[in-house]
Chain A
Amino acid sequence: MFSFELLLDAVVIGVLLGCFYAAVSLGLSISFGLLDVPHVAHPAFLVLASYGVYLLNEHYGIDPLVAGLMITPLFFLFGLAAYRLYYETFERRGTDAGVRGIAFFFGVAFIIEVLIILQFGVDQRSVTAAYVGKAWRLGDMRIPFRLVVAFVVAAALTILLTLYLSKTFMGRAIRAVAQDQEALRLMGANPIRIKQWAFGIATAVLGIAGALLIIVAPVEPTLDRTYIGRTFCVVVMAGLGSMSGTLVAAIILGVAETIVLTLFGASWAPAISFAMLLGVLAVRPQGLFGRRS
Chain B
Amino acid sequence: MKRNDIYFSIGAALFLAGALLMTQVIGNQYPFFACYVILQFIVLAVAWSILGGYAGYVNFGTSAFFGMGVYTAVFLFKAFGAPLAVQIAAAAAVGALMGFALGFLTLRMQGIYFSIATIALTIIIETTITNWRFVGGASGIQMQRPPVTAPFDSYVQMLFFVQALLVVLAVGIARYIQNSWIGRGLQALKDDELAAECTGVPTLRLKLLACVVSGALMCAAGAPAAMYLQYADPASAFNLNYSVSALAMSLIGGTAHWAGPIIGAILLGSTQQLLTVTISSEVNVLVLGVMLVLFVVAAPEGIIGLIRRVRGNRSEGKT
Q: Across the interface, do B56 and A98 meet the contact criterion of CB distance under 8 Å?
A: yes
Instruction: Point out residues on B near A: beta carbons under 8 Å.
Output: 52, 56, 58, 60, 105-106, 109-113, 115-117, 119-121, 123-124, 126-128, 130-131, 138, 240, 244, 247-248, 251, 282-283, 285-286, 288-290, 292-293, 296-297, 300
Which residue of B116, B121, B285 contacts A114 across the interface (Cβ within 8 Å)? B285
Determine whether A218 belongs to the interface, using a CB cutoff of 8 Å to chain B.
no
B-side contacts of A40, CB under 8 Å: 112, 115-116
Instruction: Point out residues on A near B: beta carbons under 8 Å.
Output: 32, 38, 40, 85, 89, 93, 96, 98-100, 102-104, 106-108, 110-111, 113-115, 117-118, 225-226, 228-229, 232, 236, 267-268, 270-271, 274-275, 277-278, 281-282, 285
Minimum distance in angstroms from A158 CB to a CB of chain B:
23
Which residue of B110, B138, B288, B293 contacts A267 across the interface (Cβ within 8 Å)? B138
Q: Across the interface, do B293 and A281 meet the contact criterion of CB distance under 8 Å?
A: no
User: B113, B116, B300 — which one has the most chain A CB atoms within 10 A of its CB?
Assistant: B116
Which residue of B105, B128, B283, B285 contacts A110 across the interface (Cβ within 8 Å)? B285
Minimum distance in angstroms from B218 CB to a CB of chain A:
17
Minimum distance in angstroms from A220 CB to a CB of chain B:
13
Q: Across the interface, do A117 and B282 meet the contact criterion of CB distance under 8 Å?
A: yes
Complex-state Cα separation, A278 to B109, whole angstroms: 11
- Is chain B's binding surface mostly helix, strand, loop or mixed? helix
A-side contacts of B293, CB under 8 Å: 104, 107-108, 111
Q: Across the interface, do B292 and A103 meet the contact criterion of CB distance under 8 Å?
A: yes
Which 8 A-B pairs have CB atoms at the shortest separation, nearest pair first? A274-B120, A271-B127, A110-B289, A107-B292, A111-B289, A38-B112, A107-B293, A114-B286
Q: Across the interface, do A106 and B60 meet the contact criterion of CB distance under 8 Å?
A: yes
Minimum distance in angstroms from B77 CB to a CB of chain A:
24
A-side contacts of B251, CB under 8 Å: 99-100, 103
Q: Across the interface, do B115 and A102 meet the contact criterion of CB distance under 8 Å?
A: yes
Complex-state Cα separation, A32 to B79, whole angstroms: 46
Minimum distance in angstroms from B112 CB to a CB of chain A:
4
Q: Across the interface, do A228 and B119 meet the contact criterion of CB distance under 8 Å?
A: yes
Q: A107-B290, A229-B120, A271-B123 are in contact. List 18 more A-B contacts (CB 8 A).
A: A85-B297, A102-B112, A106-B244, A106-B247, A107-B292, A107-B293, A111-B289, A114-B282, A114-B283, A267-B131, A267-B138, A271-B124, A274-B120, A275-B120, A277-B116, A278-B117, A285-B109, A285-B113
Given known contacts A102-B115, A271-B127, A110 and B120 CB-to-CB distance under 8 angstroms: no
Chain B residue, CB-CB nearest to A114: B286
Which residue of B115, B119, B127, B286 contacts A268 across the interface (Cβ within 8 Å)? B127
Q: Across the interface, do B115 and A114 meet the contact criterion of CB distance under 8 Å?
A: no
B-side contacts of A268, CB under 8 Å: 127, 131
